[in-house]
Amino acid sequence: MNPTQARALLRRLFDAAVAAAHPSRCLPAALPPPPERGRIIVLAAGKAAGAMAETVERHYLGALGLSAERLVGVAVTRRGYGRPTLRIEMIEAGHPVPDAAGLAAAGRALALADSATEHDLVLALLSGGASANWVAPAPGVAFADKQALTRALLASGATIHEINTVRKHLSRIKGGRLAARAAPARVLTLAISDVPGDDPSVIGSGPTVPDPSTLADARAALARHGIDAPASIVAALAEPKNESPKPGDPAFARTEFRLIARPADALAAAAAAARELGLEPISLGADLEGEARDVAAEHAAQALALARERRRAVLISGGELTVTIRGRGRGGPNQEYALALLHALAGAPGIAALAADTDGTDGGAGAPDDPAGAFVDETSPARARALGLDPARFLADNDSTGFFEPLGDLLTTGPTCTNVNDFRAVLVDT
């Protein structure tokens, strides 16, 4: 197939993965009956929070005819990801660096949790991005210091597990603290996972589940990546009162956690679509981690081996890759992966790829129209040379957006209203 056909096929696989994890598809069957007495208090956060809140209202107020006064709540999502709601307050906030809107949203969520009684159901709806959207600094921690620390962690190459370990010990809402505030109400958490391994204590920094990590783990993560934290952060991570609630804490006596969509589900949907198109799907796993450029080199070698065998296949993978930022360019892990893949493949015939974030945004400036990722095909190197673009130079500057933008090879989807993290597909059709 030609490059245009290959791109259309890759986009079809991406769309299948995203559709499988959209709240309108995966949430309704998981919603519980209303409590016999009391309210449903919806506390939603993350990039899917708008669509999750919208789905909840459609289910309870529409399909079940629940009286409006029995449904209250607040949802906070990334700017541009909000959805129209009737009863649930919708707030759009900053991501990945938290802002004042996220601070206000967390305060509103904590106030609603404090108001819950034993007759209420607290419905916590979590998705990727919740950690940035819900920000409630621990006592003594300056908000500006949390913002600065977030920037440093994102640039350091730290994994999401490490980042969220730090976040959980600097917060009044993360690391199980929201559940403690909602007691004695029943708390049901329904989550769309965006983290490798689907660990409930990492998704959204685990606001409603016990936290096995410690203050010492948080300090070690900062030391491992050479992060010189502000004084208020250092003090907070040395304060025993900021240790998070652990398994067995009575705060979790009436809590339940359920996953409603995982990266593996999205990849399975993409694999099924590939089979329908006559391709052999080869899954490399839904939980990949590591430097984007290193993983790209490995995948290029696998794709070239498949091409030598003349197999018609597609390598599919998910997870969350990282970028240790040393340059001053623009981009995200998926675009950096695509650029490194292009460099390694060097125009090998019959190979094309798409790397994109299922939330619709990969790096960028925090705008809804930031790129989701990028395409690569056998014509990419020649087209780049014609424009004087050197992949190695752009990689050295972490400027994948700057490379793909003049080529017209960026994928821009706009908000997808879900998030099951990275999606990568490398098509081999020789």
- 274 in the same domain as 177: no
Residue 263 in contact with residue 318, Cβ under 8 Å?
yes
Domain stops at, among 202, 230, 261: 261
Phi and psi of 65, rounded to 5°? 70, 30
| Residues 63 and 116 reside in one and the same domain | yes
Residue 353 three-state SS: strand
Contacts by 404-410, CB closer than 8 A, 24 or more apart? 404/335, 404/338, 404/339, 404/371, 404/374, 404/375, 407/380, 407/383, 409/374, 409/375, 409/376, 409/380, 410/335, 410/371, 410/373, 410/374, 410/375
Instruction: Report d(CA 71, CA 85) in Å as an integer.
Output: 12
CA distance 263 to 272: 14
Count how many domains the chain has.
2
Q: Do 254 and 331 belong together in one domain?
A: no
Q: What is the mean pLDDT of residues 412-430?
A: 96
Q: How confident is the model at residue 57 (pLDDT cuts 50, 70, 90)?
A: very high
Residue type, 376: V
Residue % of the chain over a pLDDT of 90: 97
Long-range contacts of 216-224 (CB under 8 A, 24+ apart): 217/165, 218/165, 218/166, 218/168, 218/169, 218/170, 221/158, 221/162, 221/163, 221/165, 221/166, 222/166, 224/158, 224/162
How confident is the model over 302-325, as pLDDT tens digits?
Answer: 999 999 999 999 999 999 999 999
Does residue 9 sit in the same domain as residue 62?
no
Q: Are residues 418 and 386 in the same domain?
A: yes
CA 259 – CA 404 distance, rounded (Å) = 35
Output the average pLDDT for the chain.
96
Q: How confident is the model at residue 363 (pLDDT cuts 50, 70, 90)?
A: confident
Residue 415 lies in a domain: yes
Q: What is the pLDDT confidence band of residue 278, given thresholds at 50, 70 and 90?
A: very high
Q: Is residue 146 domain-resident?
A: no
- The pLDDT of residue 224 is above 90: yes
Q: What is the mean pLDDT of residues 53-64?
A: 98
**Core vs surface per residue 191-217: b (16+ CB within 10 A) or e:** bbbbbbebebbbbbbbbbbbbebebeb
Calculate mean pLDDT across residues 9-33.
98
Read off the pLDDT of residues 126-144 as tens digits, 9 standing for 90 and up.
999 999 999 999 999 999 9
pLDDT of residue 369: 87
Q: Does residue 219 lie in a domain region?
A: no
| Domain membership of residue 316 as a residue range | 3-17+264-428
What is the length of the chain? 430
* Backbone angles phi and psi of 197, in degrees to 5: 90, -10
Is there a domain that residue 149 lies in? Answer: no
Of the chain, the percentage scoring pLDDT greater than 70 comes to 100
- Quick one: pLDDT at residue 396? 96
Tell whether 114 and 249 lie within a shared domain: yes
Is the per-residue pLDDT at 260 higher than 90? Answer: yes
Task: Say what the pLDDT of residue 367 is.
Answer: 82
Looking at 261, 296, 329, which one is the last position of a domain?
261
Residues 286 and 339 in one domain: yes
Which residues are paired to 191 by β-bridges? 126, 259
Are 300 and 416 contained in the same domain? yes
Same domain, 55 and 201: yes
CATH number of the domain that residue 332 is part of: 3.40.1480.10
Picking from 219, 286, 210, 277, the residue whose alpha carbon sits closest to that of residue 249 is 210
**CA dist., res. 191 & res. 23, Å (int):** 10
pLDDT band at 383 (very low <50, low <70, confident <90, very high): very high
